Chain A
Amino acid sequence: MIPVQAFLIVSAVLFAMGLFGALRRSNAIMVLMGIELMLNAVNLNLVAFARYLQGALVGGQVFTVFVITVAAAEAAIGLAIVLLLARKRRTIEVPDIHDLKG
Chain B
Amino acid sequence: MSGAWLAFAALTGMVLYSAYKVVSTPLITHAALYLATALVGVAGFFLMLESEFLAVVQVLVYVGAVMTVIIFAIMLSDVPALVGDREASFVSRLLSKRYGSLPALVSAGVLALVLIAYGSVRWAAAPLKGAPEAVHPLLHDTTALGSTGVIGRALFSTYLVPFEVASLLLLAAMVGAIVLTKRDARDVPRLAPAAERETEAEERGGAKFWP
- A-side residues, CB < 8 A to B, are 1-10, 12-21, 23-27, 29-30, 32-34, 36-37, 40, 43-44, 47-48, 50-59, 61-62, 64-66, 68-77, 79-84, 86-87, 90-93
CB-CB < 8 A to B49: which residues of A?
Answer: 7, 47-48, 50-51
Pick the contact of A23: B51, B106, B130 (CB < 8 A). B106
Whether the pair B15, A83 counts as a contact (CB closer than 8 A) is no
Whether the pair A62, B177 counts as a contact (CB closer than 8 A) is no
Q: A17-B16, A37-B19, A40-B38 given; name 11 further pairs at CB < 8 Å.
A: A9-B115, A12-B111, A12-B118, A17-B23, A24-B100, A29-B32, A30-B85, A54-B132, A61-B51, A61-B150, A80-B181
Mask of B168-189 contacts with A, CB within 8 angstroms, 1/0: 0110111011001100000100
A51-B49, A75-B70, A86-B77 given; A10·B103 CB < 8 A = no
Pick the contact of A82: B53, B73, B127, B162 (CB < 8 A). B73
B contacts with A: majority SS? helix
A contacts with B: majority SS? helix
Which of chain A's residues has its CB closest to B111's CB? A16
Whether the pair A29, B23 counts as a contact (CB closer than 8 A) is no
Which of chain B's residues has its CB closest to A45's CB? B114
Task: For residue B28, give the distance in angstroms from its CB to the closest CB of chain A.
Answer: 6
Task: For residue B195, give the distance in angstroms from its CB to the closest CB of chain A.
Answer: 31
CB-CB < 8 A to B61: which residues of A?
Answer: 68, 72
Whether the pair A73, B169 counts as a contact (CB closer than 8 A) is yes
Whether the pair A69, B19 counts as a contact (CB closer than 8 A) is no
Task: For residue A81, give the distance in angstroms from its CB to the closest CB of chain B.
Answer: 6
Of A15, A70, A72, the most chain B CB neighbours within 10 A belong to A72
Task: For residue B135, give the distance in angstroms from its CB to the closest CB of chain A.
Answer: 5
CB-CB < 8 A to A83: which residues of B?
Answer: 73, 77, 180-181
- Beta-carbon contacts under 8 Å, B138-194 to A: 139, 142, 147, 150-151, 154-155, 158-159, 162, 166, 169-170, 172-174, 176-177, 180-181, 187
Q: List 15 A-B contacts (CB under 8 A).
A: A10-B16, A19-B110, A21-B22, A24-B103, A25-B87, A36-B66, A40-B39, A44-B42, A47-B45, A51-B50, A59-B134, A61-B54, A79-B69, A79-B70, A86-B77
